[in-house]
Structure 1
Amino acid sequence: MNRLRDILLLFSVCCFFIACKPGVPGDVIQPDDMEEILIDLHVADGMALSNPAAADNIEYYRLLYRLGVLKKHDVTQAQFDSSMVYYARYPDRLHDIYEDVAERLSKKALALGASAADINRYGTLTSDADTTNVWLGERSIVLLPQPPYNTFSFTIVADSAYQKGDRMILNFDTDFIFQDGMQDGVAMLAVRFANDSVASSVVHFSGSQHRTLEVADSKRVGIKEVKGFFYMNDGGGVQNTTTLKLVSIYNVRLIRFHGNSKNMPENQDSKEPMNRPEERSDTSVAISLDEMHQMRLDER
């Protein structure tokens, strides 16, 4: 009897804490509605960028389309801004919302007419004799201005499947949803070889783009480790917490090509920018995020 009473007491306490968990206030745009608005804002930005008539005044058309999105959802600019003030205080909630948004970006792009080849370049690759997608993380990444959500790093330790002369190619697509401010993201791909030398490739990105970074074992010494990161530049530390600033990185692929791979793309025929690696000899055996960040500053 006492055991049953204790169980009921524990159940009541759990229900109490669940009921007391703070939710989103009623005067704030709810998460499901915010997700739909963010999807449409992404589409609106794409329309502004692709409209030939908007070439000379992108910001005007972007604002025009965004106002149309708010009108569609029966939301005023003031309501949206005040909701962003709330979500800016809880970046984890906004991050969760936009993770769902990021998963839908590829499908939305297809619905708007993008070719499957543009969206899923190397997307169907899993593994064959010479070509493998070795990306182990989520295919969609969301970055926000507030740490720790402004950086995503990855590390892949080479195994026996890697061969001398391998070539690593990092592919990804990006979308920025910004109300104002500088749009600037940084991606880095670095490879540590068997002799502890390091080759790296860094690229800045903004807007809606497909980007590619490449690092090759050109000296055929063997790959020991692959590292990299995605970083959202905060504009020199100046942040306006009342405006929407999101970066979506999706369709992430890290393709390993063996030196004799027939699937290896020819650089001269590639339509997207291919950033060349810079090789250096390091005495250290690891690349920290601080080192990567310093390399980003040095590049500027």
Structure 2
Amino acid sequence: MKGLHRIQWFSIFLLASCLTACQVKRPKVVISDAKMENVLYDYHIAKAMGEEVPYTDGYKRVLYIESVFKKHGITQAEFDSSMVWFTRNPEVLTKIYEKVNARLKAERDVVNHLIAIRDNKPKESLPGDSIDVWAWQRIYQLTGMPMDNKITFVLPSDTNFKDRDTLRWNVRFRFHNGAPDSLYAPVMAMQIVYKDSIISDIQKVYKSGMETVSLFADTLGEIREIRGYIYYPAAQATRTLLTDRISLMRYHATDTLSFAKNDSIQKDSVKTEKIEPQKLKKEELKPVEEKINDNPRRRDAARPRPSSEPTLKKLDNPEHVQFRKDNP
């Protein structure tokens, strides 16, 4: 029985030894996963910047890479030796590059959006009847001090915007140390710029909670851009304001209302007929008085009314009339 127990313990020890031997041993000189993620993130940005420099300024490519190593406190040799170990352990390197690629994609989207605003060539928003087109961060903190008292945005339209869209800007306000009085209450405003017109709305916020500015127009046509801002003129820096849950919802009109534009009527759609001149008969050339005399009904109508017939009396208020009989 004791021999059986010894064999079992020996088997467990042998299995544990095998598992330990199978684990990957990381040398102390290898950069940690978290630090390697930051290094690779900056490294690839530096490589991309180096590819944009002219051929005559090729030395700048080396300077970009050296600045990354200097930033993270490592040498070229430490980076190279660490990469050798990571390439021999692809499962570890793959997890690191998944995080690096996600960060690079997010950074690329932000840069592309800023370039689009500068060049007025925005990246298209998502299609749909109810879409959040807010393209910036969802939370801001304002102190009321200069350079930290305003949030502004300008969103150019794209092909997914329609003429009769409704834009609804939602922001939750949260005051710390109590809401300010009416003089220093934050202001929330939004504008929609159309081809030839601008509509806007502005409101003050006096308490914590969700606030909404909603704008739409039926007949103003093409939307050019949407603008908005939050201004917090606080007198004391201790009264901080937190804005979060920010969204800018775009709703397409779902009815069948349509409007005819001036340039939508084509000449071909108007039917015209050529009218030939007609010869008038001799009887039709008689003067009007003779025609009245020839027609007994017209003759009676042309006679003056007797004084006993009712006449209209003009009142001071032209909207009302009154019938009366004049005395003979």
With the length of structure 2 as denominator, give the TM-score of the two structures.
Answer: 0.38
- When the two structures are superposed, what TM-score results if normalisation uses the length of structure 1? 0.41
Q: Which has the higher Rg, Structure 1 or Structure 2?
A: 2
The structure carrying a bigger strand percent of its residues is 1
Instruction: Flag the structure with more relative contact order, 1 or 2, with Cα contacts below 8 A and sequence separation at least 6.
Output: 1
